[in-house]
A and B are shown apart, each in its own frame.
Chain A
């Protein structure tokens, strides 16, 4: 792995994102707009908005970066640029970390904007520190990106890659405890939820919002990081120097 190549890759990915103005606008503006929608859907139940609002600020980046990353990597595969890179002196980690850095920066912008709108304009309340919600949101974005890079290897077309969102992301959102507390679900589902990365992401966000900054939050964060590393390693195994 070479820092020079990793950073060059991050710069290249950011340049591509910047070129695609429409995608950039969608990534940055859709989460704040959805938060606004939530705010007025729950107009009569402000306490519900205060409960699900902060975790949502942290979950949007997971979903949108998952999609962006899986399409981006699929494109590298289908246009032949991945094969070119793999025939060059570039380590697999240079590519994956380059993507991680670029998309983490994008997530910082997205999460900050969403948090500013939600906590500033929409009157969302958090007992815990708002900066921690933003930090966790960025970690979730990196997690979503790493999963997206890995899973994109199993999609042959963009149609398939897009379907991975409802297939892999929505069940995790349902099982994470956002809609229904996990201990109220069917026991089997609760058991499955322990294996899902988003469960810990949601738990961390809920604890940060409730100002429960203890050992459990630390464990959540460690697990999120472990899932990120695991996904990147799995992602690296799908990058092949030789193909059939």
Chain B
């Protein structure tokens, strides 16, 4: 669109000014009303890459409801109160919570069942569950010395304090060949690492002063609004607790809420600082109430854009709107540029004609750097690009076609705005050279510093929970243990039996890779049908009538020395021939049901079986190789997930920022149609990139996702400055470009500078990046571009 067309539109608006302003007011009011009907969601999934590993984890967390559990730790605060008082309070709280739609289930009581009998009963499956290693152990046990040694052990155990309670196990397993099965059950039960004692069916700490409730909720961890509602509800319920009991919530939901609170506090603090600074700017610099419109324009544009984006996407991410609103702040530059031009050169269409081109070109370079987001695999970035670009375009239209008409009475420059000084000092060439050399030297220093730049991909760095949450969690882990959460290896199957077998196959390989003691798998207690069949066959072959008779005789003969009864070990011989039903898994065994509930997840279209292992790089690497070899298997690890997401997002953002830089360069060349002028116009972009790279290590920061996004904002900003100043230098528009660029940079720096006071690490790193990038880009625009222009482009070519 040519400048003539644009100025004709400007004139048309001038003639229909009342109608246009009326329509604008209606649009803004309608948008503001529309905001009430827009539904946001705070689900971070929309901001995650579509990489298989990330999506697998997210789907798993969603389907397994794994992260949708909270733990409530009740604490006795009165020394004179007993565990019984605590249990009573826990029961009352559990009963009151069960009635809320925010709560799916409260687990406060566990039925221990008849564990000893159950364990002995479970041993009837031992023939199916004992592999070749167990049979070889039996071989070494059924010798005179082996049997004597075991009988001595049984005698000693049965006479030790409390030893008689081990009698059922000693009778059922005199040779100790099933101890592995019993140990595996115990290990599996303890794999989550909490130190819990069952007292009257309740989860009680070892010191008897704390009780644990497990709360299952339909509120997903990533739902910020739901998490706040849930936490508020629980805190309300805690008020009903007796005075001698306090309660703490341990859950990811608390982190979600706490982070939101920290961000809100930071936003409030930075808003106050920025507002005060803007106020001072108005009082001492603009001295014109109408200039408020420049600052209101992006807000109006954001209101309209939210409605349009909601109409297009139907599901708007809260974080996208947050980021998009910050980005839209860039558009304030166009208003300032037009305002300063109108104030300086008057509100005629001639003035507008002069500013339209640089403003349009500046906007285009900014827009193009956000167009790249459409090529991202992150759905949220598509929303971000659409929302940001729409806001920028609306601000641009307002700045060019509407804003000037509010100042049209001032057809001539107001007093106080002196014409630009074109007279150069006699030694300008020397000054120019010094200026450019200094610039190059600073860039060189920043470049050297930039070689020390590092990357930090850990998402945890953005977890800015408050000290209260941290101390509560510390205390919780002191009381209950379980500080180190394991990683999960997930085996899948379309049928339960298929999942069992896959889990067994994976477990066998995993044990070889990382050792039996490093993995807690349901397969250590219950294996797949194929494996159990093979075990049973082997067992039946081994326990021939001769072997059985020989064993029976040895136990009887050597047992006489200890006065063991005739029937002492009959339970063991009963087990030898009880194969159990291969097709049916154990029924009515509460410990088995509990383990199954803990390890087996039924989901739509199949089953997943979980195995736990230490969340350490070496084990993740080893078991990743295992999961890759087994279809449907994958690893869920906090560390791995964090790294995968960070790497995927980081790699994508680096690619996007590179693309944005390239596109900015291309669009600058296309718009200016002059290679040297384009290079000059891009000087601020180059300066900002190198300075940001240099300052980040100096500030003790590492490149992270928020820095990269802030960099893209800087890119959009400083490319405008370069474009505006290059135009001014070449065409001598005399529209107060330097003043406008100064105002624009100042407003951005005020907002960004306030972020340096933020407590949230993400906002702080954004503040450092914005301040560094915008300040260096601005300084290079106003200080370096003019001498560069004089040095690179001759007077002739200027003409």
| A, B bound | no
B residues apposed to A, CB below 8 Å: none
